[in-house]
Amino acid sequence: MEFINPSIVPQRTLFNGDKMPAIGMGTFGSDRFTAEQVSAAVAGAIRCGYRLFDCAACYGNEDQIGEVFKGAFDEGVVERKELHIMTKVWNDMHERVEESCKKSIVDLQCDYIDTLFIHWPFPNYHAPHCDVDSRNPDSKPFSVEEFVNTYRQIEKLVEEGLVKYIGISNMTIPKLEAVLPELHIHPSVCEMELHPCFQQQELFDYLVAHEIQPIGFMPIGSPQRPERDMMPEDVADIQTPEMRAIAEAHGVHPAVIAIKWAAQRGQIPIPFSVHENEYVSNLKCITEDPLTEEEMASIATLEKNNRLVKGQVFLWEGADDWHDLWDEDGVIVE
């Protein structure tokens, strides 16, 4: 297997001066890949030079990934301190963050978490694999108080040394405006959907201005996303003529162009793949053959406001539709 020396992989500087890798590997199997397939890919990814992994309690594979981490530590492939391990508190654990974090630490066999996220800014729970039209009668609109209460629990874990950095995810500018003044420890990163046809420029700029590093999920436009997240009107980013033409010019797959674009724009992409040739290319591509200014400008024109993860299952009774989750009029929808 090809090894890309982590010392040549670019890094991003966080608000406090600490660094983290400019690319990571996603670990959500999209209901299509088993925990064994995903963890085998993580094992390969460590050996090819990945040092950042995006895990989550709700992906249902942390114990298998933990076995892989332990194997890599025991074999001396990598030391714990060389990895940046991220995981997330799922919606049904907002009141029990410490329990969630400790379970992830045990499952991932990693002693501490580098970045712990609040996965969604609502405690609204839905059963795994449920239909997009299903609603939980207990679901509620966003609450600043509830969010800050959850965040405080992570701040305590930072003080205790179980967590190094705090992450937020699936946020909007109005929600950030409301919560940022209340937080004692600055969030270091924000995970958000980012791909050529969904660039979220305003939120991206807001985060950069507030020294919160954007992390882009679904960087390739998630061609294998679960059926429930596929809509007839969705645009396939990597099939657009622009992406194909740029890929041809560089002699690579358009997915690789999406990763190069993400890294050059400044977000940390966290592409997923179980295929060795793909995950190796995804890491290697940000160390060589950058896109030209013209190519970056061409991809900038692909913005189509094509949000793929709409979040319908988190809606509360009385909400109109999924747009209510994203505060599109600049105020928090309640």
Query: Which residues are identified as catalytic?
Result: 59
- The residue type of 289 is D
173 neighbors 198 (Cβ within 8 angstroms): no
Computed on alpha carbons and rounded to an integer, the radius of gyration of the chain in Å comes to 19
Instruction: Using the rule CB under 6 A, give the single segment among 100-108, 132-140, 147-155, 250-258 that binds ligand NAP.
Output: 250-258
- Please report whether residue 170 would count as binding ligand NAP according to CB under 6 A: yes
- Please report whether residue 224 would count as binding ligand NAP according to CB under 6 A: yes
Q: Which has the closest alpha carbon to 163: 203, 208, 111, 205? A: 111
CB of 254 to ligand NAP, least distance (A): 8
CB of 17 to ligand NAP, least distance (A): 25
Determine whether 248 is exposed, middle or buried from the number of CB atoms within 10 Å of its CB (0-12, 13-18, 19+): exposed
Q: Which has the closest alpha carbon to 21: 70, 65, 71, 82? A: 82
For residues 30 to 59, the per-residue mask of contacts with ligand NAP, x marking binding by CB under 6 A and - elsewhere, is x-----------------------x-----
- Please report whether residue 223 would count as binding ligand NAP according to CB under 6 A: yes
Tokens of 66: 């933990």
**Touching ligand NAP, residues 269-288 (CB under 6 A):** 270-273, 275, 278, 281-282
Instruction: Using the rule CB under 6 A, give the single segment among 9-17, 146-154, 214-222, 243-251 that binds ligand NAP.
Output: 214-222
For residues 64 to 103, the per-residue mask of contacts with ligand NAP, x marking binding by CB under 6 A and - elsewhere, is ----------------------------------------
Question: Residue 104 carries which DSSP code?
Answer: H
- Please report whether residue 123 would count as binding ligand NAP according to CB under 6 A: no
Residue 96 neighbours by CB under 8 Å, 6+ apart? none
For residue 52, give the 3-state DSSP assignment: strand
Q: Which of 43, 256, 268, 313 binds ligand NAP (CB under 6 A)?
A: 256
> CB-wise, 137 or 223, nearer to ligand NAP?
223
Instruction: Using the rule CB under 6 A, give the single segment among 181-189, 197-205, 212-220, 291-299 that binds ligand NAP.
Output: 212-220
CB of 27 to ligand NAP, least distance (A): 5
Helices (H), the chain: 35-48, 62-74, 97-108, 144-160, 173-179, 201-209, 241-250, 254-265, 276-284, 293-300
